[in-house]
Structure 1
Amino acid sequence: MTHIHKTIGALLLPIAVLISDYALAENQDCLNGYEFLKSQRKGDGIALPHTGLEMNSQYDTHQVCYRGKDVTQWAAGLGMEITSGSNGFFKNGTVAIVTAHERLEDGRGYWAGDYKAALILLRVDEETGELKRTMLATQKQDNDPTKTIEDFHLAGYDEFNKVVYFETPAFATASAIYSFPVFPVLQGEKPVLKYFGPGRIDFVMFDLGTSNASRNIGNVLVWRDEIFPDRGRDEVLYLINSAGKQICKVDSTDPGYRFNPVCINH
């Protein structure tokens, strides 16, 4: 793939607009959605109908639409199904990153592993308007089971540092988080996947206009499993910096913790 856009930096969007403009059902009528997007002057964009209402599920999608047509199966690949995606890297939505895994049959469960999964780039050719598909990554084995990539699920985007986060299963009860810079991918390079740490992402901080949130731009709220003598295994919320270093434990009982995280220890 050659150069995609001449002015990448000017076209990147903040996380707040990553959710698809028409959404909130398991399956959408792509044609109806296309008419809506055209009315918003976004008809040439890749639509990823949203399938979750919670902020930490904003990347959940099982469908890809382009110019009124359902192109989900083509985007996922033969025998695969879409599991997550983001189209918020350009203002016009002409680039998307999606994840897919094998559609299991015969009673097999994903917990057992041994299935195909992929990280995929979709982009609209600027000259022809044709939708292009590029395989970015597939599973990766490692001697450390927490660093073995069995599957992919987009979990966050750091708009300030232009970094994409995804999660993969690690053991039966936990996940591992990986990241990669998006600029090289948008310019045609393969992603350099970096292990970020254990846990699952709750929220990637961006500038929300509050002093505490501004101080935490690029930091990540992550749930991590811990064992307690009185209640066994439980999840604890931590604030982690963009390098993967733990900053503090966060008071998750505060309803505004995503916008004004309060450290309860250092």
Structure 2
Amino acid sequence: MNRIIPIMPCQSIKEQAAFYEALGFTTLQMSTRPNPYLSMGYGELEIHFYGSKKTVPTENATMCYIKVDEVERIYEEFTSNLKKNIGKVPRSGYPRISKLKDLTHDQRFILTDLSGNTLYIGTPYGERPDSVFWRSLESAKYAKHFEALYDLTYSKEDYRTAQKMLDKFFPPITDTFDACALDWAKVLLVALDLHKLSSQTIHKSVNDKLQELFEISGPLTLEWNKIKQKYEDILKGE
């Protein structure tokens, strides 16, 4: 067995092709009559669609997990292509694409197309171990709570429970967080992103604390460069 090619429903063959082309896919084959059918390719990846006017995006439960070697590169290509071809990166509705998520077993993003088909595109941590950086702390005192907080925020997207956990186990806006500055910065990043995800605004006190940490951290190491880049992405809404 060499590979498996998913075949998913779509409302409109032509509109489906246009969306996937906007992502960077190439149309391999398109037939509109008598049986609407479409095949799209992206490198070695191939996805097929059959036309069905009965497809309702909000009721479509079709899903597919796509394991890739470099999820960050593909995410960057997809979002850049969308900005160039349709003028934005849609985060809600149909179609939409999520931000990159660092989950328990992989780093991934979620792509939902015009017809409601959902693609989970990810790289397992065993093949990209540096991604563990984002959901782990050096401090044994806070590590387990932070991992749970991270999963609530980015995997379950349960912002209310995540906020309660943040308030209970972490003092992100005080000077009493007894762990290293890098751990503190990671907690502050989640607090900043959590507030923006739930209210669409930037938490001023958390933002000020992060800026203070950047000022006292000295010359930026590889780890601090990662922190600074993610901070800038949150501010930009990426």
If the TM-score is normalised by the length of the shorter chain, which range does it land in? under 0.3
TM-score (norm 2): 0.27
Query: Which fold has the larger relative contact order, with Cα–Cα distance below 8 Å and residues 6 or more apart in sequence?
Result: 2
Structure-1-length-normalised TM-score: 0.25
Q: Whose helix fraction is larger, Structure 1's or Structure 2's?
A: 2
Q: Which structure has the bigger radius of gyration?
A: 2
